[in-house]
Structure 1
Amino acid sequence: MSEALNPQQLRSLIPLNALSDQQWRELRAHLVPQPLLAGQLLFRRGDQARLTYYLLSGELLLRDADGSETRLEAGSEASCHPVSPSLPRLYEASALRDSSLLAIDSAALASQLTLGSAHQDLLLEYGLDGDGEWLEALLASPLLARVPPANVRSMLERLRRVELPAGSRVMAEGEEGDCCYFLQSGRAEVIRGAGSERQLLAELDVGACFGEEALLGDCPRNASVTLLEDSVLQRLDRADFLELLKAPVVDEVSLGEAVRLLGGGGQWLDVRLQEEYERAHAPQALNMPLHLLRLKARLLQGGATYLCYCDSGKRSASAVFTLSQLGFRAYALRDGLDALPALQREALISEAGSGYLARSGGRIERSR
């Protein structure tokens, strides 16, 4: 996508001007610049392609069923609206001179507009007590973009406020997980190990969710979280988390569905430990152990689809949830490798050794 297509320059387009910055980022993969040479046809009357077009430069000729013609020039008030948005198209559209347009997947746009409207209602209802800035950051997160508004409303009603001073350990590695938290104000760090084995996995800012991995995997905490500043947290109990957030966010697919997604450019992501991966892994699978996923996710490609797997399906569910928070599209192999028939498992986990590495920008290399 060209640099010309950015939220600041497209704010005049209607109804795109109602989207938040986060919604623009969510929609970014669906924005396609389309050049059109003089005399070239954009679409015919009766066209039913689910694409929304905006004229960015140049001029179009619109011709209806009676042969009446209308000129549409970039920069005019009319060009701030979609070109012949009704389906089937009521006009034939062609370029009078060299032009450029923005094409957007109509379903993706409708989804963002619907979520944006619903979240505005929540901001008005719950953001009147001085917490509007935090709530706006939370509602704009990629994680909640995949959660139905009714679930978000229920979640907000069930959150419990917790105030703690800087230096407080909110959760400790190895303890049982009975809840997760959202960071309302302040900052926190995620640490794994102690002494010489101590490793900083992430720093968390306002709106971040943490502690969910123990809930998704039904396992002890795999890291400790300590507050770097006086902070306000919002606590969500395990049962509420599983009901309201896990179900809509963690998409699971069968092996057949995974293969179809691979054919469309998907990428296997093995979230087991390196030792498990090297013993046997899927062809061309990347290895990003769950506990290092936040640290390594910067190497993943923003517009790609990732297919996560592990032995039981629990670690991959946690990986999908984490990737969703970070704005990635990901799926978990349903019930993991252990649920596959022996022949399917052997066919899938067919490579051994150190495998493949992700480089910045999503480039994949065979390790040596």
Structure 2
Amino acid sequence: MSEANEQILQRIKQLIPINELTPNLQSKLLNSAQVLNVKKSRFLFKQGDKDEYSYFLLEGEVELHANKKLDSVLDISSDRAKYALAQLQPRQFSVKAKTEIKVLLIERNKLDQLMLLAQESTLSSTMSGGTDIEVDVVDGVDDDTDWMTQMLQSELFSRMSMPNIHQLFALLEPIDKKAGEVVISQGEPGEHYYIISEGKCAVSRKPMPTSKDVKLAELKTGDSFGEEALISDSTRNATITMITDGVLMKLSKDTFIELIQKPTLESLSFSDAEALVDEGAVWLDVRFPNEHQESSIDDSINIPLNSLRLKTDDLDSSKQYVLFCDTGGRSSTGAFLLAERGFTVSYLEGGLVNNPEALGVQAVVPEEPKKAPKPVEVKKEKEVEADIDVGVVNEAIDAHVRVEILNAKLETTQIEMSVAEDSKDEFEKENQKKLLAAKKKLEAQKTKAEAEAKEKEKEEELKFQKLKEEAKKKMLQEKKQLEEIYNKNAKDMEKLQKAKEQAEEEIRKEREKLEQQAEAAKKQIEEAERLKQEIEESKKGLEVQAEKKKLEDEARVKKIQDAAKAEIEEERKKLAEQYDRNAKEFEELKKEKAATEAVRIAAKEEADKIIREHKLSHEKTRADEVEKMKAERLALEEKSKKIESAMQQIQQAKQKAEEEKKVALSKAKDLKEKQMESTNTKEQRAQIDTEIEVVSKKVVQAERSLKDVNHQAKQAVSAKKLNEADLIKKAEEEKEFQVQVQNDLEEFEDKQQEEAETVTQVQVHSDQMKRIMAKAADAKIKAASANKNLMNDISKQLGD
């Protein structure tokens, strides 16, 4: 391809909205387009003309004239030159070539259909990339709901009148389809509208004709498809294939338009639409953003058709929208999509091209309405790309034009010759001769021009064929490269689809695994809570038992103390009674003193001897008793030391038990936190459960040991207090015993001196003294026995 042709091709790809088309759609467009060479000062079209074509400037400069005055000049460097030249109908300007120019000529309806396909292609590409949108689908309600219910519940059918719905159901034709059977194919013309009564379908699309199908979506019972191709009068933008056996309800195109499209879609003239907007409706431009930027209705919003499904949430459902585009094709499709979703919509009839007043341009009424000249036909084949420079062909056309001009001049000359033949005037005859000569000259020029034209045509035909072959070769190479790219993309899409399905399966399995782990963890937590509750209840039970045992021990110690006190008190009472009896006996002896005075003197010496012996015996006995009491006191002090040592051991045991409990509780907490982690394996969770059970037992054992130690400590404190009390009592008893014995002896001596008159009385007194001493010794033995019993009980309690 030459550098000039490459520049023209790049220029075409920059034109708006052609630059929005995919490469394969651009190729389709250029196959049906023409590149025209226009000489300087020639008009492309004139103000007031009406036609079905769009002209795009490729090279050179043009003048725009309005009302026979120059309005502006455009060249390819101008941004305005990227758009179609003065495309409003009727034409608002006359466009004249200021220099030699090249223009691209396209049928406007063909361009609009390809723009609609481009937006659908963008939508499909977006969907294949993972966005959840529909392609020619009306969403169903639920797999389990019958298709009729879903239809009637949809926003679209809720707007239809009951007679239309009844008629629709009557005209729906059920057709059976097998799994794998293709319902509609991409690129075919749209002839029917379908509703899925039973089964499932797959939506797929080929990015290129030689590419593999890329799956876009799945349709289920109640979904419908095929409406967009019917509304836009374009070809199918995707392929629908049965996934399972099923039944489809088919509706013909005419019936669809009559019963669904016409009642649903309302087209408005610009004046009616403007009145509606004045009442609160909103203009909605569904063209591409660059088209909207170049020319649009004031205060309109712009959402391209390929983004409309995705941005319905941005629209206010309480407002009415009036959609518009260039011709009405895209806006009618967009209006149907919004109507399906419950919006109140209408669209501008004929689009902006046929409503120039929508852009604030005064419509032109030509003085002499005329049909636009038919565009010059260029000889070319279908397979030749539009990037061929057909200017060489147009040079051949210029040769033919020269021939036609010469033919016209020749006809004029012949007319003049006919007039001259009727004239009898000699002057006129001379003119006839001149005219004849001119005619021959013109015929010679015509013959020469025809020969030149044929020769030029042959040369240009050869050039054209050569350029066509080069373009075809280049096209095949590019086509092959594109096919390789799209095949690679299709394979990548298949890999991505498989990876997606595999990832979804792995996620599902992992979710199930996590749910099972969560359920197991929940049960473990419930079990832990149950164990905790049991431990708390056991702890409370142990505390109650310890308190009960404490009260029992205190009662037992108090009982022992009370018994010992009672026994001592009893002994004291008995001694007091004995002393009272002795006193009475001494009183009686005093009465008998006078009678025994004679005996007293005789017995005095014997009595003194007895007293001395008694004193010696008493001193020895007292020393023995004192020594014995001292030994008992030392024994009690030793017992006190043992109690103190036991209390220290109990305190150490208590500290050790508290430490063990603290360590066990800390370990139990760590194990429970570890247990809550979802990454643990089954063996690890089993091991953690075993460790928690062991630690729980250790906690219970530690608490039990702590309770026992506390209990022993309390008993040791009680024993210590009792031992200290006994030591004090023992010391007091020793002191009282010594005082009592001394008083008894002194009293006995006094009485003996006063009353010892006879040996009999002395003997009696001696017997009485022996009885007193025996009773005192007996009381002492009983007191010692009581103390011993008390110490045995305390030792036994400490041992428990």
Q: For residue 271 of structure 2, what is the aligned residue in structure 1?
A: 256
Secondary structure, aligned partner of 2:222: coil
Q: Distance in 1 between matches of 2:158 and 2:266?
A: 14
Cα–Cα, structure 1 residues 205 and 258, in superposed 2: closer, same or farther, change >3 Å? Answer: farther
CA apart distance, 1:274: 4.3
Q: Distance in 1 between matches of 2:149 and 2:200?
A: 17
Question: 2:195·2:248 contact (CA, 8 Å) conserved in 1?
Answer: yes
Cα–Cα, structure 1 residues 192 and 264, in superposed 2: closer, same or farther, change >3 Å? Answer: farther
Q: For residue 135 of structure 1, what is the aligned residue in structure 2?
A: 148
1:131-173 CA distance string (max 9 Å, x none)? 9822111112111122221111111111112333455443233
CA apart distance, 1:279: 3.0
1:327 and 2:329 are equivalent in the alignment: no
Cα–Cα, structure 1 residues 242 and 263, in superposed 2: closer, same or farther, change >3 Å? Answer: same
CA apart distance, 1:292: 4.3
Q: For residue 208 of structure 1, what is the aligned residue in structure 2?
A: 223
Larger radius of gyration: 2
1:153 and 2:193 are equivalent in the alignment: no
Q: For residue 144 of structure 1, what is the aligned residue in structure 2?
A: 157
CA apart distance, 1:179: 0.9
Match of 2:353 among 338, 343, 361: 338
CA apart distance, 1:201: 7.1
Q: For residue 268 of structure 1, what is the aligned residue in structure 2?
A: 283
Q: Distance in 2 between matches of 1:289 and 1:155?
A: 32
Alignment RMSD, CA only? 3.2
Alignment of 1:289-368 (within 5 A): 289-340=304-355, 342-346=356-360
Q: For residue 194 of structure 2, what is the aligned residue in structure 1?
A: 181
Secondary structure, aligned partner of 1:337: coil
Q: Distance in 2 between matches of 1:143 and 1:137?
A: 11
Cα–Cα, structure 1 residues 179 and 172, in superposed 2: closer, same or farther, change >3 Å? Answer: same
Task: Give 1:142's aligned amino acid.
Answer: E
Q: Distance in 1 between matches of 2:238 and 2:306?
A: 8
1:326-363 CA distance string (max 9 Å, x none)? 211111112222221x3433469xxxxxxxxxxxxxxx
Cα–Cα, structure 1 residues 204 and 336, in superposed 2: closer, same or farther, change >3 Å? Answer: farther
How many pairs align?
217
Cα–Cα, structure 1 residues 160 and 310, in superposed 2: closer, same or farther, change >3 Å? Answer: same
Cα–Cα, structure 1 residues 192 and 132, in superposed 2: closer, same or farther, change >3 Å? Answer: closer
Q: Distance in 1 between matches of 2:150 and 2:180?
A: 24
More strand by share: 1
Cα–Cα, structure 1 residues 279 and 231, in superposed 2: closer, same or farther, change >3 Å? Answer: farther
Question: 1:308·1:333 contact (CA, 8 Å) conserved in 2?
Answer: yes
TM-score by length of 2: 0.25
Task: Give 1:150's aligned amino acid.
Answer: P
Question: 1:187·1:205 contact (CA, 8 Å) conserved in 2?
Answer: yes
Q: Distance in 2 between matches of 1:305 and 1:202?
A: 31
Task: Give 2:325's aligned amino acid.
Answer: C
Task: Give 2:358's aligned amino acid.
Answer: Q
Q: For residue 280 of structure 1, what is the aligned residue in structure 2?
A: 295
Runs of at least 5 residues in structure 2 that lack an aligned partner in the other structure = 1-143, 363-800
Question: 2:146·2:222 contact (CA, 8 Å) conserved in 1?
Answer: no
Q: Distance in 2 between matches of 1:315 and 1:158?
A: 28
Question: 2:352·2:358 contact (CA, 8 Å) conserved in 1?
Answer: no
1:277-322 CA distance string (max 9 Å, x none)? 3432333433333344334434433323221112222222222222
Task: Give 1:300's aligned amino acid.
Answer: L
Alignment of 1:3-22 (within 5 A): none
Runs of at least 5 residues in structure 1 that lack an aligned partner in the other structure = 1-130, 349-368
Q: Distance in 2 between matches of 1:275 and 1:168?
A: 41
Pick 1 or 2: higher relative contact order, CA cutoff 8 A, min separation 6.
1
CA apart distance, 1:189: 5.2
Task: Give 2:176's aligned amino acid.
Answer: E
Q: For residue 123 of structure 1, what is the aligned residue in structure 2?
A: none
Cα–Cα, structure 1 residues 192 and 280, in superposed 2: closer, same or farther, change >3 Å? Answer: farther
Secondary structure, aligned partner of 2:275: helix
1:232 and 2:247 are equivalent in the alignment: yes
Q: Distance in 2 between matches of 1:264 and 1:191?
A: 43
Task: Give 1:344's aligned amino acid.
Answer: A
Secondary structure, aligned partner of 1:338: coil
Secondary structure, aligned partner of 1:303: coil
Task: Give 1:247's aligned amino acid.
Answer: K
Cα–Cα, structure 1 residues 234 and 290, in superposed 2: closer, same or farther, change >3 Å? Answer: farther
Cα–Cα, structure 1 residues 169 and 273, in superposed 2: closer, same or farther, change >3 Å? Answer: farther
Secondary structure, aligned partner of 2:309: helix
Q: Distance in 1 between matches of 2:205 and 2:289?
A: 16
Q: Distance in 1 between matches of 2:215 and 2:323?
A: 23
Question: 1:183·1:234 contact (CA, 8 Å) conserved in 2?
Answer: yes
Q: Distance in 2 between matches of 1:297 and 1:191?
A: 24
Secondary structure, aligned partner of 1:339: coil
CA apart distance, 1:247: 1.6
Q: Distance in 1 between matches of 2:206 and 2:298?
A: 31
Q: Distance in 2 between matches of 1:187 and 1:326?
A: 22
1:217-274 CA distance string (max 9 Å, x none)? 2221233334555443211011111121122111122222322332343222222344
Question: 1:202·1:295 contact (CA, 8 Å) conserved in 2?
Answer: no
TM-score by length of 1: 0.51
